[in-house]
Structure 1
Amino acid sequence: MSRGAARQPPRGARSQGQGPRAGSRLRAWGRHHRAMSLDSARRLLRHPVGSLLTMLAIAIALVLPAALWLALDSARLLDAELEESATLTVYLAHQVDEAQAGRIDEAIAAHEGVARTRLITAAEGMAEFQQALGLADALGRLDDNPLPASVVVTPVDPAPEAVRELAESLQDMTGVDEVRLDLAWLERLRHLAELGSRVALALGVLFGLGVLLVVGNTIRLAVESRRREIEVVMLIGATHAFVRRPFLYSGAWYGLGGGLLAWGLLGLGSEWLAAPVSALAASYGATFRLPQLGAAGSATLLICSTLLGWLGAWIAVSRHLAEIRPR
């Protein structure tokens, strides 16, 4: 055995020495991140007016797409309520009597695509018609009831395609004269909801780019103001990641502050509009409340704003670090 081989330390001792060194490097890395985050926060607090204006610009850019998305959520809730109330009316032939109408109603209720049914006899239909028009005396003089019996059907699946298939299958039943349904309003509402979703997505992308520009311009000015300091630390061997770190934390703080302001503005706007919206809904005999962000929506807003601030800072710092050459 050679002397070099005899002098080599045991493998276990070598790994034990590397473990503490790796742990100390990890602790140092964590301490530096904590120090940079606190230092960047203190730098923002030294200029409260400028920092607040930057955060307010970010908040305004975030409020508009978030408010539109909340409006779309309320439209989707209304769409779901309207779908639940979607029905079709099956008009029976005039020669069908009440006993036959009852059997047809039972056959329709047994259909797999039908959730529930309500039979309206010819006499009940005439009574409702007289009450609605206020022509009880005039219609009471008729010898025969011209109105047929009908069955109001609530489908299991309120989708327009499924309702059309159900109407076609009910049309072929014996004793059925006509099946009437009106899905035009539901299709229009769905088209409007799809259009609103695309508009909200487009606005979100555009205003997200606006946030990147606001944060990027602010961080660019901060980099220029600390150019000499950056050149000095790069001369002594600092990496780009080391130099970039405090500016990334500044961008994240800007984004988080803008997200908190946007969250507050959305809450204030919702409270401000709650009373007139409730009054308008009550005038139509309905109850409606503006949707809130909730815990998941608030977390999504804050995470997106923080990531946008971080990304804007990363783009600005990376671009300007490539231009800085230590002298």
Structure 2
Amino acid sequence: MSRETTARRGARARQATAGGRGRGWLRHHRAMALDSARRLLRHPVGSLLTMLAIAIALVLPAGLWLALDGARLLDAELDRSASLTVYLEERVDAVEAGRIEQALAARPGVAETRLISAAEGMAEFQRALGLEEALARLPDNPLPASVVLRPADPEPAAVQALAGELAAVAGVDEVRLDLAWLERLRHLAELGRRVGLGLAALFGLGVLLVVGNTIRLAVENRRQEIEVVTLIGATHAFVRRPFLYSGAWYGLGGGLLAWGLLTLGSDWLAAPIAALAASYGASFQLPALGAAGSATLLGCSTLLGWLGAWIAVSRHLAQIRPR
């Protein structure tokens, strides 16, 4: 038998051995995942309570994040509705007002313009106040023509710079803008985001503690079994594997319960929130989790469960010595 033939047979034997080890590794993972799920189902009440505790810890930061996402969409809508009002001088007639409006629309920082004549302004003012008869008795119309324009860049600094440029245009008497309420809304949104991140970190730590304590009790209950398998040569990875799957199952179950609670809560609050927004003349709805949000919630909950189990098992395996 040649050396080349022997080398090929040795290579095939090594590949077969490696393939057998890989299949055995996958079979053991599948067996441990199923065995962990069966152990949880043998104690449905305790498992459900643990998952419910995880779900409650996840609902508050996830719900706050959804509310902030809705506020972000509302902020974008308000940015699109941000406008400047350019009041023209009283001496400007209708023809010149049209030319000024065209000149303003041609400027690079202006996205949209709308000319409001003095008569149209008075009519809107009368409708807003409900004093049509009283204002109709005025001898002259005191309101000037105006141009309402929407800036291309809604950032406060850019809008203020644009207002300064428009104030220098011939025929313009005053430029009126009010961005204070937009600034307050953005500051509140930023505060909410930071509070949401802080709550997510705190409640994530709570999930780790819940899962870690549950897995710690499971390790103590199987202490003799762990000592026996360690005595016959089992590695820490082998011993740790079923507990990691238990933690992942706890996390996944808690994530599913949190998803259900968030869905029910959104449906329950949808009508009052829509009615409140309608009373202010706006349309606002709580955003749904969606496919990406649901996958993120379930992935984070499963990962937190797995991590909590890994921390608890690793800490206790270091203390267990076969006798």
TM-score computed with the length of structure 2 as normaliser? 0.95
Give a deviation string over 1:131-159, Cα, whole Å, max 9, x none: 33344444444444322111001111212
1:310 matched to 2:302? The reply is: no
Name which of 52, 69, 82 aligns with 1:56.
Answer: 52
- Cα displacement (A) at 1:283: 3.4
Distance 1:123 1:276, change over 3 A: closer
Aligned to 2:122: 126
Q: Is the 8 A contact 2:117 2:146 kept in 1?
A: yes
Aligned to 1:197: 193
Name which of 278, 282, 288 aligns with 2:284.
Answer: 288
Q: Distance in 2 between matches of 1:249 and 1:131?
A: 67
Amino acid at match of 1:266: L
Task: Give aligned pairs, total.
Answer: 323
Aligned to 1:166: 162
Secondary structure of the 1:111 match is coil
- Cα displacement (A) at 1:261: 0.6
Secondary structure of the 1:289 match is coil
Give a deviation string over 1:151-193, Cα, whole Å, max 9, x none: 0011112121221121111111111111110000101000000
1:250 matched to 2:246? The reply is: yes
- What do you get for the CA RMSD once the two structures are aligned? 1.7
Distance 1:105 1:239, change over 3 A: same
Q: Distance in 1 between matches of 2:12 and 2:3?
A: 17
Which blocks of at least 5 consecutive residues in structure 1 are unaligned?
1-5
Name which of 73, 80, 92 aligns with 1:84.
Answer: 80
Percent identity over paired residues: 77
Q: Distance in 2 between matches of 1:174 and 1:129?
A: 26
Amino acid at match of 1:319: R
1:273 matched to 2:258? The reply is: no
**More deviation, 229-238/168-177:** 168-177
Name which of 175, 197, 214 aligns with 1:218.
Answer: 214
Aligned to 1:36: 32
Amino acid at match of 2:149: V
Aligned to 1:3: none
1:237 matched to 2:233? The reply is: yes
Name which of 158, 179, 191 aligns with 2:175.
Answer: 179
Q: Is the 8 A contact 2:74 2:284 kept in 1?
A: no
Name which of 42, 46, 49 aligns with 1:46.
Answer: 42
Distance 1:137 1:309, change over 3 A: closer
Amino acid at match of 2:104: I
Aligned to 1:299: 295
**More deviation, 126-135/74-83:** 126-135
**More deviation, 287-296/36-45:** 287-296
Secondary structure of the 1:71 match is helix
Secondary structure of the 2:174 match is strand
Secondary structure of the 2:150 match is strand
- Cα displacement (A) at 1:9: 6.1
- Cα displacement (A) at 1:231: 0.6
Amino acid at match of 2:265: G
Distance 1:137 1:221, change over 3 A: closer
**More deviation, 88-97/140-149:** 140-149
- Cα displacement (A) at 1:124: 2.0
Which blocks of at least 5 consecutive residues in structure 2 are unaligned?
none
Amino acid at match of 1:234: T
Aligned to 1:67: 63
- Cα displacement (A) at 1:130: 3.0
1:96 matched to 2:92? The reply is: yes
Secondary structure of the 2:173 match is strand
Amino acid at match of 1:91: Y
TM-score computed with the length of structure 1 as normaliser? 0.94
Aligned to 2:202: 206
**More deviation, 166-175/245-254:** 166-175
Q: Distance in 2 between matches of 1:273 and 1:14?
A: 68
Superposed, 1:131-150 pairs within 5 Å as 131-150=127-146
Secondary structure of the 1:174 match is coil
Q: Distance in 1 between matches of 2:138 and 2:276?
A: 42
Aligned to 2:17: 21
Q: Distance in 2 between matches of 1:8 and 1:228?
A: 51
